[in-house]
Amino acid sequence: MQQIIDRRLAGKNKSIGNRERFLRRYKEQIREAVKRAIDGRGIRDIERGEDIHIPKKDLSEPVFGHGQGGMREVVHPGNQDYIRGDRIERPKGGGAGGSGKGQASDSGEGEDDFVFALSKEEFMQIFFEDLALPHLIRTQLAETPEWKSQRAGFSSDGTPNNLHVVRSMRGAIGRRIAIGAGSRRELRELEEQLLALKRDLKTGDEVGQREIDELEADIIALRARIERIPYLDPIDLRYRSRIRVPVPTSKAVMFCIMDVSGSMDEGRKELSKRFFILLYLFLTRHYEKIELVFIRHHTQAQEVDEENFFHARETGGTVVSSALVLMEEIIRARYNPSEWNIYGAQASDGDNWHHDSGRCRELLGEKLLPLVRYFAYVQVAEEEQNLWEEYTQLLEIHRHFAMRKATSADQIYPVFRDLFKKEGVQAA
């Protein structure tokens, strides 16, 4: 019995190329399946994989078939019910089923939808596709740059894995030529003298024979000296050298402002949380170096950490301007607009102390919008409150200011995509 063992290397992801081609080919169906999954998912479960169902009809390939042609009469074996000329009724009740729709039937066959698992990374990639921070530009290079390693010629010391064989051998050949050049020249001269003496040597000439013997001894010593030159010396070794060089980077910060006043019931707070969690996942995924500033406000604004921003239960009246004032103070203290790309996002039900809404418009239009690259306002209530009316006056003046409404959970994602879509890309 002969046993064959396949020792070829095969990685765990040997079919990853086929999978990527499949995802590209059925991109539209997968994107629609991801959107359906988002609608039926809790916000805490958003960052996980998904089982994608694609109808079999969408996977079918066109094929050419050759018909039998002509007039043919065929008697099928086992036929005891029909004769020539009978008309057979079409089966009732979805005999070609397979999708699970319609009424059940006792006839017909079909195939189920094609189902495959979309990994967490693939799911999030499609989820945040075509999104970006609008108008992101490089304001100023960061004072503390990033560092990267790059090649910097060759050095005489290093690790064996960085040894450059060709450069080392080239240096060894040059060293041997340089050191042995004088000795080889002297060797050629002595050999020429030896040939001349042997040619002129007469029989019985002891003096000439003595000179020949001395020359032969010198030639042997000189050849031994040349052979002692090492073929490869440590001084010949050359290693690839790498140095760390600064990479200039731009800096960005996103301000997240959420209203937690008494008029913001649990449903509206949940909508706001959904929007900011989407924003948080998006920013931390695509912009590793971006900083986030979380501000909660009722009558007073407070900068908080991520945990308190999403889970604290403090509430009170409504003075929206306190949050905008705090945002400006933080910008002036920590984020110089000439060095940072600054972005802002605000979520509220729009209900504000009526004497404060005008001040909010002035603060936003005169103080904040000149400092930021983009500012998005999301109202989690249908009724247009006084804050919405004041903010509307800024739309025609400032192109980098946007407003949207979201009154139910299924509107959060479309609104989010509309606010943060890439320039030139139509929102889904």
Task: Give the pLDDT confidence score for residue 74 in this predicted structure.
Answer: 67
Q: Let me know if residue 305 belongs to a domain.
A: yes
Q: Let me know if residue 411 belongs to a domain.
A: yes
Res. 203 pLDDT band, cuts 50 70 90:
confident
150 forms bridges with which residues in the sheet?
Answer: 243
Lowest mean pLDDT among 111-115, 198-202, 228-232: 111-115
Asked whether the beta carbons of 320 and 330 are under 8 A apart, the reply is no
Res. 59 pLDDT band, cuts 50 70 90:
low
Where a domain ends, among 240, 271, 302?
A: 240
Asked whether the beta carbons of 260 and 300 are under 8 A apart, the reply is no
Phi and psi dihedrals of 246, rounded to 5?
-70, 140
Q: Rounded to an integer, what is the distance from CA 213 to the centroid of its chain?
A: 80
CA dist 309 and 295 (Å) reads: 7
Q: Let me know if residue 86 belongs to a domain.
A: no
Asked whether the beta carbons of 360 and 321 are under 8 A apart, the reply is yes
Task: Give the pLDDT confidence score for residue 76 in this predicted structure.
Answer: 65
**Average pLDDT over all residues of the chain:** 76
Q: Let me know if residue 410 belongs to a domain.
A: yes
Asked whether the beta carbons of 421 and 129 are under 8 A apart, the reply is no
Phi and psi dihedrals of 259, rounded to 5?
-80, 125
Q: What percent of the chain has pLDDT over 90?
A: 11
Where a domain ends, among 240, 272, 302?
A: 240
Task: Give the pLDDT confidence score for residue 41 in this predicted structure.
Answer: 54
Contacts of 305 (CB under 8 A, 6+ apart): 294
Are residues 257 and 391 part of one domain? yes
Are residues 209 and 255 part of one domain? no
What is the total count of domains within the chain? 3
Task: Give the pLDDT confidence score for residue 96 in this predicted structure.
Answer: 46
CA dist 314 and 297 (Å) reads: 9
Asked whether the beta carbons of 378 and 405 are under 8 A apart, the reply is yes
Are residues 230 and 255 part of one domain? no
CA dist 77 and 335 (Å) reads: 86
Are residues 400 and 287 part of one domain? yes
Residue pLDDT, tens place only, 175-190: 888 888 888 888 888 8
Q: Let me know if residue 376 belongs to a domain.
A: yes
Are residues 320 and 288 part of one domain? yes
133 is written with which tokens?
Answer: 């921070």
Describe the chain by its helix, strand, coil percentages, rounded to 5. 40, 15, 40
Block residue for tokens 């500012």: 375
Looking from the CA of 387 toward its CB, the CA atoms found within 13 Å total: 26
Phi and psi dihedrals of 114, rounded to 5?
-80, 130
Are residues 269 and 400 part of one domain? yes
pTM for the whole thing? 0.52
213 is written with which tokens?
Answer: 């013997």
CA dist 418 and 195 (Å) reads: 96
**CB-based burial, 112-150: b 16+ in 10 Å, e otherwise:** eeeeeebeeebbbebbbeebebbebeebeebeeeeeeee
Between residues 262 and 422, which one has the greater pLDDT?
Answer: 262
Looking from the CA of 293 toward its CB, the CA atoms found within 13 Å total: 23
Asked whether the beta carbons of 293 and 256 are under 8 A apart, the reply is yes
Are residues 286 and 265 part of one domain? yes
Res. 102 pLDDT band, cuts 50 70 90:
very low
Can you tell me the mean pLDDT for 1-7? Answer: 55
Are residues 299 and 272 part of one domain? yes
Task: Give the pLDDT confidence score for residue 93 in this predicted structure.
Answer: 58
Q: Let me know if residue 211 belongs to a domain.
A: yes
Block residue for tokens 């809404």: 357
Q: Let me know if residue 345 belongs to a domain.
A: yes
Phi and psi dihedrals of 276, rounded to 5?
-75, -30
CA dist 168 and 328 (Å) reads: 61
Task: Give the pLDDT confidence score for residue 110 in this predicted structure.
Answer: 47
Sign, CA dihedral 301-303-304-306, equals positive
Between residues 167 and 76, which one has the greater pLDDT?
Answer: 167
8-state DSSP, 119:
P
Are residues 406 and 258 part of one domain? yes
Check pLDDT > 80 for residue 3: no
Read off the CATH number of the domain in which 370 is found: 3.40.50.410
Can you tell me the mean pLDDT for 51-73? Answer: 66
3-class state of residue 89 by DSSP:
coil
Lowest mean pLDDT among 8-12, 126-130, 279-283: 8-12
Check pLDDT > 80 for residue 24: no
Residue pLDDT, tens place only, 331-357: 999 998 887 888 899 999 888 887 888
CA dist 331 and 363 (Å) reads: 13
Check pLDDT > 50 for residue 32: yes
Q: Let me know if residue 328 belongs to a domain.
A: yes
Res. 384 pLDDT band, cuts 50 70 90:
confident
Q: What percent of the chain has pLDDT over 70?
A: 70
Domain holding 228, by residue range, is 160-240
Looking from the CA of 109 toward its CB, the CA atoms found within 13 Å total: 0
Task: Give the pLDDT confidence score for residue 134 in this predicted structure.
Answer: 59
Check pLDDT > 80 for residue 42: no
Are residues 272 and 188 part of one domain? no
Res. 222 pLDDT band, cuts 50 70 90:
confident
Are residues 266 and 236 part of one domain? no
Residue pLDDT, tens place only, 320-337: 999 999 999 999 999 988
Are residues 281 and 164 part of one domain? no
Where a domain ends, among 187, 212, 240?
A: 240
Between residues 45 and 168, which one has the greater pLDDT?
Answer: 168
